[in-house]
Amino acid sequence: MNTLFDLTGKTAVAIGGNSVLGSSIAKGMAAHGAKIAIVGRNLEKADQVVKEIEEAGGTAKAFQADVSIRESLEEAVNLIEEWSGGFDILLNAPGKNSTTPFFELGEDEWDDIMDVNLKGMMISCQIFAKKMIEQERRGSIINISSVSSTTPLSKVFTYSVSKAGVNSMTQYLAREFAPHGIRVNAIIPGFFPAEQNRKILSEERVESIMNHTPMKRFGSPDELQGAAIWLSSEKASSFVTGALIRVDGGFGSMTI
């Protein structure tokens, strides 16, 4: 069983690996033997995640990049390649949100969120998958989606639309990359309180979420590790691609 989920000898690139959810997943991968490249706009936060991974006995390095700018990511991928020799796993965990009501939403704000959540993920898949194919490395791409991608939530219009796009892109790329031995899947997290969503978690909204979540609680970031490690392992999930994996306490199974 340990061998089934062993990531020793693999290098994982965690884009948005300095975020709450991204860092937790990266730490889980590192604990199972993967070498981790933490990529984020805030290098100080990325360095902190690296420090925590190293203190736990893992290997990691921080790289600065803006996921929405192709040149920035291309520069980062070259540095990561120099450091690691290549990579086998790509975790796409960037995220940007807004509570602006629909009729007050401006194009600049729409573009900003889409640039990070959708366009940035497309760019990273292009750049990193191309390198994997050139190196003839079988690999796994894991995109982080959201429960709002399938059941649009109030107060997060643009975020919901962007994450619906992530699901579609995941399944399209699963078909596109399968001949090259690259699997593409998405994790759909439920409600995991973090910096970007605490501002919309009013008492009334929390009550509504709990009423719609059979397990009657929020998720803990480390509860995403199992799904991510499974999807990262070529042995454990070798026939899994194009899947949208829910880790949501049953939120997606509720109707009335």
List of residues 6+ apart from 82 with CB closer than 8 A? none
Name the H helices within the chain: 20-31, 43-55, 70-84, 107-114, 120-134, 157-177, 203-211, 225-232
Residues noted as catalytic: 159
Please, are residues 31 and 229 in contact by the beta-carbon 8 Å criterion? no
Residue type, 85: G
Structure-token match 């490395």, residue found: 137
Q: Can you tell me the distance from the alpha carbon of 242 to that of 46, in angstroms, rounded to the nearest whole number?
A: 29
